Homo-oligomer: A and B are copies of this chain.
Amino acid sequence: MTVRLGTMQDWPMHVMRLVDHAEREHPDGEVVSAWADGTMTRTNWAEIAQKARQMSQALVAAGVKKGDRVATLAMNHERHLIAWYGAIGMGAVLHTINPRLFPEQLVYIANHAEDKVLLYDAMMKPLVDAMKGQWKTIDTYVCFDPPEGWDGDQGFEDWIAPYDGDFHWAEADERDPIGLCYTSGTTGNPKGVIYEHRSMILHALAEIQPDCFNLGKRDCALPIVPMFHANAWGLPWAAPLVGCKMVLSADYTAERMVDLFREEKVTHSAGVPTIWVDMIAHIEKTGADLGPLHTVTIGGSAAPRAMIKWFRDRDIEVGHAWGMTELSPIGSLAGKPNGWDDMSDEEQIEYTARQGRVPFGIEMRIIDDEGNTLPRDGKSSGDLQVRGAWVVDTYFKAEESALTEDGWFSTGDVACLHPDGSMQITDRSKDVIKSGGEWISSIELENAAVGVDGIAEAACIGIFHPKWDERPLLVCVKDGTCDVDGEAVVDGIKDQVAKWWLPDAVEFVDELPHTATGKLSKKTLREQFSDYSFEGVVAMAGRD
């Protein structure tokens, strides 16, 4: 250790500094809540900070200790936000539970987390009542929004009312845990990702930059992402950092969203593609006005080109993002490159359709089956691995690190890195079709197939092939608008993909299997087609 001859100040990164900063510098920064019952409330950072301190006192009084887990089962609203800061402020770890998990997963995660307290929305009461007998560690239940005549658990405001808010945030190391969010894989129990003070501050600083969410004080952000889903993409941390107005809504119907956009003068929003599909359909039907909205972030799954174009046509900037719960969640976002203004419309859309570039703090590489790092040539595809300041190392209570020996996290996505730094997801690792030592993107085949007249939905899976190991089978659902057969599908996609990628067979079904959250379930589809064989099927195209 060098003898320190002159120093900068010690200034640990601590998320409670965010609320302190907002209370001091942006006390009147507004937080608007649109509640499930249709009512609206307004508060600001001065009140949020005060109530968070009161809640910290209530937790101390309830016997919660530093490092204990405090859970929430709630949609987006101001009390949920207060609960985040109130829990972390006294040293607890905030566990945001996703109510969309299966019941057995809900039992598992609350017990695995050893949650001590649960704060929940009144609408979750049936779920909570059904679970109480199985949750072993929760001894304090609080309802965020008890309606008139409620005879259940204590209400949030009553719970914190006895306390005066004369409370100093608990001391903490910047590497101490602040949050816990479980992510459900397709196999095994959900895994818990631990967020830390430091990682969340660095994530927030990265997120607000012009090439990411581009957030400043004069903006108004409405996350259409639940606070239980990877921190609502970090916006509840970013808003107090810059002092912008924030609108939180308990439901995401297109009608309500559009009303909020206009009435609250929302400038920035963020959500998954299906949210925007609904909203665009609603606007196309009603001619509704989006108000001053000028920036949307789309992530969770790939934003279709038509969606990107729709927003561009209305002078709304699209930031296409990629992330994971394990990445807090932002991994990359499509900020504009050099020379943007000189690019053609088509080039700009092509660029935006990729999943963006890494902000400083994240690194990416792609590797092949042998673990070799592949070039950033815009052609090679490989398993996407990441490392950085807000990337998981070890899951909650896991016995060993989730990283490779050389310190990278395998995302389970397959991607291509372009020379300009942009990243393009080409598939999920488990869905990629490995044919003759090379990889075929199931996603690209599906995207091409749904562009064919008469096709409503498509899924592509690899089927065993004696020579090539795997060859693609395309399974389609017709939309009934016209007659279409396998040859017509292959004909419709043949100019969009390499010839050797073309499926060996096309099958039609009435319905494709989906998961509880509405995603295509290739796992179930593969089970359904486990006995399928190309034997007897006349190869339609493809390699041989």
Interface residues of A (CB under 8 A from B): 1-2, 4-11, 13, 17-18, 21, 24-26, 28-30, 66-67, 173, 175-177, 180, 192-196, 198-199, 202, 205-206, 208-211, 214-219, 241-245, 328, 335-341, 357-358, 360-361, 363, 387-398, 403, 407, 409, 421
Tell me if A11 and B361 are in contact (CB < 8 A): yes
Expressed in whole angstroms, the minimum distance between the Cβ of A331 and any Cβ of chain B is: 13
Candidates B196, B242, B358, B407; contact of A8 at CB < 8 Å: B196
A215: chain B residues within 8 A (beta carbon): 209-210
CA–CA, A507 and B10, complex, Å: 48
CB pair B391–A8 under 8 Å, yes or no, is: yes
Once A5-B177, A8-B196, A394-B6 are accepted as A-B contacts, the answer to whether A210 and B211 lie under 8 Å apart by CB is: no
Question: A9, B242: Cβ atoms under 8 Å?
Answer: no
How many chain copies does the complex carry?
A: 2
Q: Are B216 and A209 in contact, CB atoms less than 8 angstroms apart?
A: yes
Question: Complex Cα distance A338/B30, Å?
Answer: 10
Find out whether the CB atom of A393 lies under 8 angstroms from the CB atom of B338: no
Q: Is the CB of A218 within 8 A of B337?
A: yes
* Contacts known (A209-B208, A358-B25); A218 close to B338, Cβ less than 8 A: yes
B395 touches A6 (CB 8 A): yes
Question: Given A5-B177, A67-B2 in contact, is the A11-B389 Cβ separation under 8 Å?
Answer: yes
State how many angstroms separate the Cβ of A4 from the closest Cβ of chain B: 7
In the complex, given contacts A6-B194, A217-B338, what are 5 additional A-B residue pairs having Cβ atoms less than 8 angstroms apart?
A: A8-B199, A18-B360, A25-B358, A210-B215, A218-B339
Q: Smallest distance from the beta carbon of A267 to chain B beta carbons, Å?
A: 10
Shortest CB distance A181–B (Å): 11
Bound: A149/B243 CA distance, A: 58
Closest to A30 in B: B338
Min CB distance A110 to B, Å, is 16
CA distance A175 to B7 in the complex (A): 8
Residues of B within 8 A of A192 (CB): 6
Asked if A6 and B336 make an inter-chain contact with CB atoms under 8 angstroms apart, the answer reads no
With a CB–CB cut-off of 8 A, which chain B residues contact A211? 216-217, 242
